Structure 1
């Protein structure tokens, strides 16, 4: 798409505006969004002004920010040209990643596509999942390349979400026969008392975040059918004892709430043809005082072993509401240890 930089302002030497011309008006309308909401998001995030003139967009602002906005607009337009839509998360990712999408190279039959521009996509039944930060991209690659991986960092950084997405993609392409999702059944600082119902009814409240992730990637009826067929299992950590998990993609969520013995028990369940992912947040340990977190112990003991990846996230990788990152930073500042 043609780009024109008008002559610089005599007072500052920076371009008065950069003009981007788009050949397809229909795609330009999608790029702008309803009531220009996409343009408003880019303007707010990058401190620029974007004006629409026919089939052109004029970008005003500081030179560096103008260039960044142009990159984002081009990448989003290329996304539309390839037949994909634009969601708020796509705008956030383009701003964070700062890379334009180039020609893709796809391995036949693989659900994971590596783009020449460094982009990663995970295909599931309901949506394509794309990492939105460099740390997330590195994490997804590590999960594909290692049989055992750890994702450690604060809430909202996509540790569990991306792990489940990778598991779904591998299951759909036949690389694994089943998916096993687990987490310790530990109450988050409050006593819930006795829960009614059978065993499933009692543990389901603890497992709900895992159900939420599955339902984001697969139709609800398919999730129910796969669970009924035991091709997807969601169970508390205590239920893993004595099992050998072969040809499976296994995720242990909230691993900071596993004890040292539970962590050792879980890690030694790894069987032939399986991959295992452990996710946790060291700042949210709900174990009784004096009980060592198995996640901390695993970091200390396993960090030097080849074939095991450790990926770390910070508040910069939070992809929930922007306030979440600010809240995490505030707590970290108050507890620097």
Structure 2
């Protein structure tokens, strides 16, 4: 049976090439029907010539990404494997690196790692308003932040504005310690975390002090017109319908806007409709607005996070179906005529 051996500089390079996950070797082997073994800095492919060629192409594409400074994840390995299997479009490495986002010259570029993430970055480059909707951990906010910093660096916008609703989940603001700024900070902390992950602390603080980056609660947006700015509304599922309309009408000349949210994690009071839900219902066909849906397979956090979300979705679906059947049976009983006694 034909055999091919791929040799790399060091075992460490190979380990990074497969996203630091030996399961990536199994994925490639099962996808193309080849036997994949690895020792030290080499990979051995055993199978039919056509299958070996496809598996070799996956490793070549991943090597291109890695040698151009890209960090590889298991999601990216899956993306490249699926692309080679379908033989569709541009070479995966070229598509991924074409969409790379630079926030700081001292940090590695941010790359799209799944098919939905690629569509998301493309949408942010082409449309004025983009909605990224899906479960936590799919990179919605992180990629939006990276795109915003990229636009700021390229001077296509003058400001990056980051906002999210300060929804009271359990504790009222008035009962939290500190002044107003200290009360609000915990709600905005995820945005600061993403920002400091992409920029050196000194650079981030300098941009904030200059006003090039603004981080504020959604309530601070009322009455403003945001021109030549890249605006990100995070956790949009916690906006009311009035807040969402208010936010979307703040956009001025040269503005770009990204709205992110997870419809399954609404913290609004019962019977208060989510502004994100209404936007999804009303804006699908509006020119200049693009919706990108993320699924559990797009999660780029620990694999266990994906399994947890899938388990919750499955359980909630079964519960909803059970409730629907119970209500249907109850209505059927109510409609039955009373028996004569």
| Equivalent residue for 1:96, pick from 63, 69, 79 | 79
TM-score after normalising by structure 2: 0.79
Aligned equivalents of 2:205 and 2:258: distance in 1?
Answer: 23
Tell me what 1:50 maps to: 37
193 and 134 in structure 1: CA distance in 2 versus 1, 3 angstrom threshold: same
Higher helix share: 2
Count of residue pairs the alignment pairs up: 303
Alpha-carbon spacing, 1:288–1:64, altered in 2? closer, same or farther (3 Å): farther
Distance of aligned partners of 1:267 and 1:68 in 2 relative to their CA distance in 1, 3 Å threshold = same
Per-residue deviation at 1:121?
Answer: 1.2
Tell me the residue number matched to 2:292.
Answer: 311
CA RMSD after TM alignment: 3.0
The aligned counterpart of 1:278 is 259
Change (3 A) 1:294 1:163: same
The answer as to whether partners of 2:61 and 2:80 remain within 8 angstroms in 1 is no
Provide the residue aligned with 1:146 in structure 2: 127
> Any gaps of 5 or more consecutive residues in structure 1?
1-6, 8-14, 105-113
**Taking structure 1 as the reference length, what is the TM-score of the superposition?**
0.80
- Contact 1:182 1:252 (8 Å CA) reproduced: yes
Shift of 1:270: 0.3
* CA deviation vs aligned residue, 1:202-230 (integer Å, no higher than 9, x gap): 11100111011111111111111111111
For residues 297 and 75 of structure 2, the distance between their equivalents in structure 1, rounded to whole angstroms, comes to: 12
Residue 137 and residue 323 in structure 1: after superposition, are their counterparts in 2 closer, same or farther (change >3 A)? same
Which of 260, 263, 272 is equivalent to 2:241? 260
Structure 2 spans left out of the alignment, 5+ residues: 85-89, 321-341
Q: Determine which of 33, 36, 39 is the counterpart of 2:15.
A: 33
CA distance in 2, matches of 1:66, 1:207: 49
Secondary structure of the corresponding residue to residue 191 of structure 2? helix
Q: Which residue is 1:218 aligned to?
A: 199
Q: 2:56 aligned with 1:70, yes or no?
A: yes
Structure-1 residue corresponding to 2:111: 130
